[in-house]
Amino acid sequence: MSYYGYFVAGAIMLTGAVGIARSRNLVHAVVCLSVSQAGTYVLLLSIGYQRHAAAPVFGSTIKPSTKVVDPVVQALCLTDIVVSATVTALLLALSLQIAKHHGTTDPDELSALRG
């Protein structure tokens, strides 16, 4: 259990990468890339996790002296989730344009077109 979080993070990242390589559709590849990115969120939050610690939001029940999990990795992760959604949108828009101009979204057929 002491390394399970890291293991899952690495496994998700590699799963996404294999998916991109096997992909026969650009939209499929973009979705696999976002799976790969999810691996980095799991890794970051696993590094910051501490057993039996509270969330890093102080209030009436959680005093600043309470043990909390690491807010630094959470901040990294939180902005990245939102920003990566817009980057995914950019990639989807690119695949849409490719589909419009070449009539296919299969990366293998696209390289065949180029000759």
Partner 1 sequence: MTFIVGAALTLVLAAAIAVVASQDPSRQAVTLSVLGVSLTVLFFALQAPDVALSQLAVGTAIVPLMVMLTISKIRGGR
Partner 2 sequence: MSRRVRMWMVAIAGAAVAVGMGLAFVDLPSFGGSHHPYRDAAIHGSVAHQTANAVSAVNFDQRGLDTFGEESILFASIIGVSALLRPSKEEQEAGPSQPGRVMEATRILGYAFIPLVLIVGLDVISHGVITPGGGFQGGIILASGIHLLYVAGSYETLGRLRPVRLFEHGEAIGAGAFACLGIAGAATAMGFLANLIPLGSFGQLFSAGTVELLNGAVGIEVGSGVIVLIAKFLDQAILLGPQKS
The residue type at 44 = L
13 Cβ neighbours under 8 A, 6+ residues apart: 36, 39, 40, 43
User: Is residue 82 close enough to count as binding partner 1 by CB under 8 A?
Assistant: yes
55: left (phi over 0), alpha (psi -120 to 50) or beta: beta
Query: CA 107 to CA 24: how far, in whole Å?
Result: 6
Least Å distance between CB 108 and partner 1? 14
Among 8, 40, 106, 107, binds partner 1 (CB under 8 A): 8
The footprint of partner 1 (CB under 8 A) covers: 1, 4-5, 8, 11-12, 15-16, 18-19, 24-25, 27-28, 30-32, 34-35, 38-39, 41-42, 45-46, 48-49, 51-57, 68-69, 74-75, 77-78, 81-82, 85, 88-89, 92-93, 95-96, 99, 105
